[in-house]
Amino acid sequence: MSVVLLLLFVALLALGVPIAASLGLASALVIVGFDLPVNVLAQRAVNALDSTPLLAVPLFILAATLLNAMGVTTHLFDLVRLIVGRIRGGVAQVSILVSLIFSGVSGAALADIGALGKIQIDQMTAQGYRKPFAAGITAAAATIGPIFPPSIPIIIYASVTNVSAVKLLLAGIVPAILITLCLMVQVAVIARLRGLPRDDVRPSAAAIAGKALVSLPALLAPVLLIGGLLSGLFGPTEVAGVTVAYALLIGFAVYRTLTLRKVWDSLRETVEATSGILFIVSTAAVFAWVLTFDRVPALAGAFLLGLSDDPLVLLLLVNVLLLLVGMVLESIAAILIIAPIVAPALHMAGVDPLQLGIVFVLNLMVGLLTPPLGMSLYMVAIVARMPVHAVIRGTLPFLIALLASLLVVSAVPAVSTWLPNLFLQ
């Protein structure tokens, strides 16, 4: 049964059917063909969406679109540029740091690219950077967004594996900083070897102070979010709602650049993005039910535990699997299909659920940068108006930093577990 399901799914993808529809159609055909209860189609799809943590997904998307609509990304970029732009390769370093800051409100790699990509690439190319390099560092830095809270993939992973979403969001903070540092070190090495240009900005204490004052309301958004999670006052859904309210407040009362028209456009964009994500969630739930009915999770767990009982070895095996899956399958669909299969076995082997969640998501974010279906590659190609093959050429070197980060997160559980265990016992 499962073999037929997977063959149908692959065949539909090959025919160009969207992932969500492929998941649903393959599941429906197997359920009808093998005389399984047809009411499962509606029941599992609805139950998958009846989840409080998933309410955070549209709210975080709305917060990011509102902040982008009011133009705060330009302020953040200018502030960081004034602070670090004069070092060699400074604008590339600025791109990495701004991606870290903006990830505190976006929660998605494609949102980071859409909001920051054009600014980053235009600034670098204007100062003499090769366009593939500019596109590559932009795509690589966008992987920070889905690791640092709020993270839409992490929230979805938590919902399907019954792991605390708050702890898992906090577990992403140190790995996100690690990725940032690894990328910055790699850019520094490249800057020295290739003689990358210094920024032509002329920083002064007055200019930095002025831009910091203008940027302060936007900088407080991730502080509010992380502070709410650390304090225990808010769960992911509550803090998402507070972030939306804060974005509306500063948009209308502080920056005064937010209009009712921009709010309406942000709401429409949020509905479009959310509907795509939740459509995948619902159809993947039916797909996963068929696999579970056919005992695939149990068989896969027994197979993995039969290979080794060493947590690190099992993590490395899962890394290889996810890196391959990430090349051909959209990240949220991969989480919904594979996480329920492999997570129980690795938990039984002693892998910390928080560490596994971060390894899982980071793996799939690397998949966003790998052909043939790496969505970040295509998004950067669109905003940069350049061929996809040129974006791939510019991105491949930065996989070194990302894979090094992944190896550290896989080998050292404390990178993921230290912060949530420190604040939330």
pLDDT tens digits, residue range 317-348? 888 888 887 777 777 888 888 888 888 888 88
Output the pLDDT for position 107: 59
Residue-level pLDDT at 353: 92
Q: What does the angle CA 323 – CA 142 – CA 366 come to, to the nearest 5 degrees?
A: 5
Distance CA 22, CA 7 (A): 11
Contact criterion met (CB below 8 Å) for 384 and 391? yes
Q: Would you say residue 112 has pLDDT above 70?
A: no
Cβ contacts of 241 within 8 Å, gap of 6 or more: 59
User: Which amino acid, 370?
Assistant: T
State how far the Cα of 400 lies from the Cα of 97, in Å rounded to an integer. 18
**Which residues is 198 bridged to in the sheet?**
88
88 phi/psi in degrees, rounded to 5: -65, 130
| Position with higher pLDDT, 58 vs 415 | 415
Q: By CB neighbour count within 10 A (0-12 exposed, 13-18 middle, 19+ buried), where does 265 fall? A: middle
CB atoms inside a 10 Å sphere around CB 257: 13
User: What are the pLDDT digits (tens) for 386-397?
Assistant: 888 888 888 899
Average of per-residue pLDDT across 247-255: 88
Token pair, residue 319, equals 């890394």
Q: Where is pLDDT greater, at 110 or 195?
A: 195
Residue with the larger pLDDT of the pair 374 and 365: 365
* pLDDT confidence tier of residue 85, bands split at 50, 70 and 90: low
- At residue 57, what is the residue type? V
pTM of the model: 0.84
Query: CA-CA distance, 313 to 398, in Å (whole number)?
Result: 25
Enumerate residues 6+ apart whose C-beta is below 8 A from 72: 215, 217, 218, 255
Rg of the chain in Å (alpha carbons)? 21
Q: CB within 8 A of 11, min separation 6: which ones? A: none
**In this model, does residue 244 exceed pLDDT 70?**
yes
d(CA 277, CA 38): 24
Angle between helix 296-307 and helix 260-293 axes, rounded to 10 deg: 80
| Model pLDDT, residue 414 | 93
Residues 225-242 have a mean pLDDT of 79
The mean pLDDT value of the chain amounts to 83
CA–CA separation, 198 vs 208, rounded Å? 18
Q: Which of 9-18, 171-180, 192-201 is the most confident on average?
A: 171-180
Residue 171 binned pLDDT confidence (cut-offs 50, 70, 90)? very high
